[in-house]
Amino acid sequence: MKGRQILVVDDEPKMRRVLEIMLQKMGHRVISAGNGVEALEVFRAQAVDLVITDLRMPEMDGIELLAQLRAQESEVPVMVITAHGTIETAVSAMKHGACDYLLRPFDIDVVEHAVERVLSDAELARQNAFLRQEVNRGWDAFIGTSAPMRAVYELIQRVGPSKASVLITGETGTGKELAARAVHNASPRHDKLFVPINCAAIPADILESELFGYEKGAFTGAAKERIGKFELADGGTIFLDELTEMPMALQAKLLRVLQENTIERLGGNRVINLDIRVIAATNRDPLESVREGKLREDLYYRINVFSIELPPLRRRVEDISGLVEHFIAKHGHSNADTRLSPAALERLQGYAWPGNVRELENMVERALILSGGGLLDVQHFMIESRPADVRPKTTARPAEGTRPPPALNQAVEDLEARLIDEALAQSEGNKAKAAALLDISERTLWYKLKKYRPDQSPS
């Protein structure tokens, strides 16, 4: 286990020194305090992974120190020191929240075993708390044997064992988090936590506290201290998804973390040393984001030590068949009748996939519902064929005050009417199901029916 910072509290200087020597030989960093009052001052100023305290001390004894720490809702583990005649007191301290006790006189093997066990238990508890939050997220391995994917696998295998920061680029839905997890799993940190955070999904004023954590009372509502994602990922990997959506001021703080490997919680001044690997991702062109002022140039060059670009699905259409089989099994359909027809496969391979693999999974799940678990055919996939090697482009918006040509309006209306007819046919006339297939509200469907099919609208 990596050396931790341990606070030793004892009013006897010789006893403090004995513990300092033992703990330092074990590879830990040691801070000392002569009583509970001094210990609280130290605790407020520095990050501590473990407190070892004597029970009988002037000004503030070990029990009161323990009570003060727990009153601050600190989860730092506490071990107490006791002599043979005061074991009952040690047991009482454990009932108040201490996790173990050391018996005088000390034996170095006993101290080493007890300290390592307590630190391991504390780290395991922290990881379990995080994993309980992640348990419903789940993830799947990459699927695909196309040349573009084989190139990605090779890059992951090369960079995985290193300590290098990684920047992953790719369109939405291409699997950037999967790639980040694969890098983590290929690294010596694979048995530590992989901590993802989506910078675009969290409001800017909350993102900073999510990343760095905060001390009790740091702001209104901070009723207890909280460990941030960086601290949680210590020893492992943190994945910053959609990096270009991070506010510029916060990017400056991130740059400092990368340069100094330290953080400070909000509302505190304790310097916390970190050993983490940073992997970031964006669905934008990072250099274009630098030019647009969405990404700091110095941060880009600091984090882009090694880059991996994920190919869009339209560039690896030969993988679609395997992906569909995977999603069929994932969503609980594994009987022989549940398969993709050749015509449907051809239609899927001709689609441009603006939403990439994520869009394909959603489409397969919907097709399974429509087919009732049988053959997945063309009618179960509501897509339009278009060249698979051409990325859909955003059309220029008409100048203000102008209108598109009437022919375009008519084409749009004809397409809408035809899609509505197809949805009603697939749903056997059920308006609610048809609206769900079209991803619109039932009220919107009724409005469009009144416009395009008056005979099918409510009277």
Percent of the chain with pLDDT over 70: 86
Same domain? For 96 and 118 the reply is: yes
Q: Which of 67, 110, 104, 68 is nearest to 87 (CA)?
A: 104
Q: Note whether residue 441 is domain-resident.
A: yes
When the pLDDT of each residue in the chain is averaged and rounded to a whole number, the result is 83
Please report the pLDDT score of residue 409 as a whole number.
59
Percent of the chain with pLDDT over 90: 44
The band of 225, judged by pLDDT with boundaries at 50, 70 and 90, is confident
Same domain? For 289 and 361 the reply is: no
Total structural domains in the chain? 4
Contact, 337 vs 301, CB < 8 A?
no
- The residue out of 309, 325, 357 marking a domain boundary is 309
Q: Note whether residue 13 is domain-resident.
A: yes
- The residue out of 276, 293, 309 marking a domain boundary is 309
Q: Note whether residue 112 is domain-resident.
A: yes
**Whether pLDDT at 398 is above 50:** no
Question: How many residues make up the chain in this entry?
Answer: 459
Please report the pLDDT score of residue 74 as a whole number.
76
Query: 324 lies in which domain range?
Result: 317-380
Interval 372-378 mean pLDDT: 87
Same domain? For 188 and 291 the reply is: yes
Question: What Å distances lie between residue 137 and 128, 132, 196, 375, CA to CA?
Answer: 15, 10, 11, 29
Same domain? For 278 and 170 the reply is: yes
The band of 93, judged by pLDDT with boundaries at 50, 70 and 90, is confident
Q: How far is CA 98 from the centre of its chain?
A: 32
More confident residue, 394 or 355: 355
Contact, 272 vs 233, CB < 8 A?
no
- The residue out of 380, 397, 416 marking a domain boundary is 380
Q: What is the CATH number of the domain that holds 444?
A: 1.10.10
Please report the pLDDT score of residue 459 as a whole number.
45
Same domain? For 188 and 232 the reply is: yes
Per residue in 240-252, pLDDT tens? Answer: 999 999 999 999 9
Average the pLDDT over each of 59-73, 287-301, 363-377 and give the range with the smallest value: 59-73
Please report the pLDDT score of residue 57 as a whole number.
87
Please report the pLDDT score of residue 137 as a whole number.
37
Rg of the chain over all Cα atoms, to the nearest angstrom: 30
Phi and psi at residue 441, to the nearest 5°: -75, 155
Please report the pLDDT score of residue 141 as a whole number.
64
CB atoms within 10 A of CB 317: 17
Per residue in 141-160, pLDDT tens? Answer: 678 888 899 899 989 989 99
Interval 25-32 mean pLDDT: 91
Strand partners, 7: 31, 51
Same domain? For 171 and 294 the reply is: yes
Q: What is the DSSP string of 9-34?
A: E-S-HHHHHHHHHHHHHTT-EEEEES
pTM over 0.85: no
Same domain? For 353 and 294 the reply is: no
Tokens describing residue 28: 């830990």
Same domain? For 25 and 117 the reply is: yes
Q: How far apart are CA 368 and CA 331, in angstroms?
A: 9
Please report the pLDDT score of residue 393 as a whole number.
43
Question: What Å distances lie between residue 173 and 200, 365, 392, CA to CA?
Answer: 15, 16, 15
Q: What is the CATH number of the domain that holds 185?
A: 3.40.50.300
Q: Note whether residue 35 is domain-resident.
A: yes
